[in-house]
Structure 1
Amino acid sequence: QESIRRTLVRFRSPTGLSSLGDRQMILFVILLLGYIITQGGNSMIIFLVQNKALHSPMYFFLANLSFVDMVYTTTTIPKMLVGFLSDVSTISVPGCFLQMFFFIQLGITSRGILTAMAYDRYLAICHPLHYTSIMTQHIQLLLIAGAWAFGTFCTLPANLITWHQPYCGPNVVKHGWGDPSSVRRLACADTSVDNTVSLSLALVALLTTGVLILTSYVLIGISVSRMSVAQRLKAFGTCVSHLTVVSISYTAASFYLMRGTLSIFFQVRIIVAVLYAALTPFLNPVIYSLRNKELQESIRRTLSVPLVFLCYPVSNLHF
């Protein structure tokens, strides 16, 4: 730890993207707009879920997913945007390792919440009569706490091993943020154990949540096959948004894990990582808003309130 504090004093982040030249500003504008929309869209979902009409377990999990997405993008994108505007962006060593930890931890936590949402859909469709007695507020809180604990369990060991490595050489991370594999390349020791532990825990996180989600939908599919056409369409309508988000999330995560093994340019691998960090949190509120009628109605009612005051004649207002 002492060698880290003494030699790797500053973390220089934009090195991996500086070679993009003029295209760097295009990426800056895209990321900035995406970050603003991500924060605004997820904030609106959290605000709307406070409405009594949306006080159901599904929206409780959705609000928690939105909160995780907001924090997740904030761990990387603002610092990366600053790096675009300057030749070199620096961060303290503890800040670098905290960024590494929360980037991975929040990504796994979001998949834990997606798993809880799949379980919620399974109960609602396959066991509707017992749904309210099983999916109590206590169970909802336990599922959310379990998602956070699972994310920490799958992140902390690899992060601690990397932290205790000796760093006595370069302090330039060739990436847009504190990417774990990029930081480990700066260690002055064998990092094979670090890489093995990190990859193993990443696979455990993806496979565990992925198998649970897949199992939920297999059971849902079996149950739906016994329903009438109208019931099938209703069940499909309640699941399509979640299925879309899960598909995008796990596809992006797979590309992120495989980016080091693909025969593509270094800058392209970094852009893949940047899109992974920004794409899913950006699409989540868009997908749920477009596919969910209750959420659409709540948005419409919320936006209609200021419009009423704008359109109401001033002469009719009495003070």
Structure 2
Amino acid sequence: MHENMEKYNKTIVTEFILLGFETIRSAEILIFITFLIIYALTIIGNVALIALVLANHQLQLPMYIFLINLSFLELIITSAVMPKMLINFITGKKNISFVGCLTQSFFYFLMGSTEFFILAVMSFDRYVAICYPLRYASIMNRNACFQLLLGSWIGGFLIILVPSIVTAGLPFCGPNIVNHFFCDSAPLLKLVCADTSLAEKVDFGTSCILLLGSLLITVVSYIYIIVAVLKIPSTQGRKKAFSTCVSHITVVSLYYGSSIVIYVRPTKGNVLDFNKIGTVLNTIVTPMLNPFIYCLRNEKVKDCLKLSFSKIIMFLKK
């Protein structure tokens, strides 16, 4: 018994190797440049969108308050993964400490879980705006917005708390090569030197509750929205009412499509390489696209953007 414990202590994992994308060195340089540009655009786009909403009084509405929370979450999610991945690309070293790996995983899933709650809240906001336009201001008041945002953050924390505790308590004795470019749950569980069935069930259960539960709220909200829009007599009125939802529907489709394929499956034992592509979509590409989606598809945001640019130009001419 004593010898087994001693052997276990000697083989405990203190760091992981992030395998990333298995390519030749020249291809890694190209990927590095591409991801660096994407990360820069993500930071610039989301920071600019947050600044735009905060600087324009006409955007101080619940829809845009939720939007800047979404952009903030995008910044944290991407920053939890991208800097380490870029450093690994440029240095060729792919190691990450045990604590660093679990910390990265925790913040990634915390922000990601909160984001799904925010997307559901944004769906509810559009439902109230279109189905109860005269009561919108009283229903979605400052206090209600604060409670919805606080509930989203608390919900995101609670939903990932148990899986995080379960994973952190598992023994990692080696090997220590993570078949991913960050510390995702599925490839981490493959490295556990014990029975992972409980951890897999907990992961699967929380993924179902989070993704399918928040998606249900979104779908139900849009069913009511579509019914309300179809009752509007004029074509122009219907188009105007539904145009406020197009950006949100686009973002929801990108997030839920990739996330359900990756995380809502009964076993995490085998991690397929296409999961990396799905993770690239919802962790790297979508956070970059979000500001552009909302700026290009929302007339009020476009008007404020044009006004802000004109003010900047006038200031520079002085």
Q: TM-score normalized by structure 2? A: 0.90
Could you tell me which amino acid in structure 2 is paired with residue 25 of structure 1?
Answer: I
Could you tell me which amino acid in structure 2 is paired with residue 149 of structure 1?
Answer: I
Corresponding position: 1:190 with 2:195? yes
1-structure distance, mates of 2:250, 2:276: 25
- 1:297 aligns with 303
Q: Pick from 94, 97, 102 the counterpart of residue 99 of structure 2.
A: 94
Question: Is the Cα–Cα contact under 8 Å of residues 39 and 82 in structure 2 kept in the other structure?
Answer: yes
- 1:107 aligns with 112
Structure 1 residue 273 displacement after superposition: 2.2
- 2:5 aligns with none
Q: Pick from 176, 179, 182 the counterpart of residue 184 of structure 2.
A: 179
Question: Is the Cα–Cα contact under 8 Å of residues 168 and 188 in structure 1 kept in the other structure?
Answer: yes
Q: Does the residue aligned with 2:67 lie in a helix, a strand or coil?
A: helix
- 1:206 aligns with 211
1-structure distance, mates of 2:10, 2:35: 32
In the alignment of these two chains, the number of paired residues is 309
2-structure distance, mates of 1:127, 1:65: 24
Instruction: Give the fraction of aligned pairs with identical amino acids, expressed as a percent.
Output: 36
Could you tell me which amino acid in structure 2 is paired with residue 240 of structure 1?
Answer: V
Tell me: CA distance 1:48–1:215, structure 2 relative to 1, closer, same or farther (3 Å).
same
- 1:32 aligns with 36
Q: Does the residue aligned with 2:16 lie in a helix, a strand or coil?
A: strand
1-structure distance, mates of 2:15, 2:68: 36
Structure 1 residue 204 displacement after superposition: 0.9
CA-to-partner distance for each residue in 1:184-211, whole Å, 9 max, x for gaps?
Answer: 1111101111111101111111111000
1-structure distance, mates of 2:116, 2:25: 35
Corresponding position: 1:253 with 2:259? yes
Q: Does the residue aligned with 1:39 lie in a helix, a strand or coil?
A: helix
Q: Does the residue aligned with 1:105 lie in a helix, a strand or coil?
A: helix
Corresponding position: 1:41 with 2:45? yes
Q: Pick from 201, 222, 242 the counterpart of residue 248 of structure 2.
A: 242
Question: Is the Cα–Cα contact under 8 Å of residues 16 and 267 in structure 1 kept in the other structure?
Answer: no
2-structure distance, mates of 1:120, 1:305: 31
Question: Is the Cα–Cα contact under 8 Å of residues 207 and 264 in structure 2 kept in the other structure?
Answer: no
Segments ≥4 residues shifted beyond 3 Å:
3-6, 18-21, 258-262, 264-269, 309-312
Structure 1 residue 260 displacement after superposition: 10
CA-to-partner distance for each residue in 1:264-311, whole Å, 9 max, x for gaps?
Answer: 995444233223311221111111000111111211222223322444
Gaps of 5+ in 2: 1-7
Gaps of 5+ in 1: 313-319
Question: Is the Cα–Cα contact under 8 Å of residues 14 and 98 in structure 2 kept in the other structure?
Answer: yes
Question: Is the Cα–Cα contact under 8 Å of residues 126 and 223 in structure 1 kept in the other structure?
Answer: yes
Tell me: CA distance 1:135–1:248, structure 2 relative to 1, closer, same or farther (3 Å).
same
- 1:135 aligns with 140
Could you tell me which amino acid in structure 2 is paired with residue 180 of structure 1?
Answer: S
CA-to-partner distance for each residue in 1:94-113, whole Å, 9 max, x for gaps?
Answer: 22111111212211211111
- CA RMSD across the alignment: 2.4
Tell me: CA distance 1:304–1:63, structure 2 relative to 1, closer, same or farther (3 Å).
same
2-structure distance, mates of 1:153, 1:45: 28
Corresponding position: 1:82 with 2:90? no
Corresponding position: 1:158 with 2:143? no
Corresponding position: 1:286 with 2:292? yes
CA-to-partner distance for each residue in 1:106-142, whole Å, 9 max, x for gaps?
Answer: 1121111111111111111111111111111111011
Structure 1 residue 86 displacement after superposition: 2.1
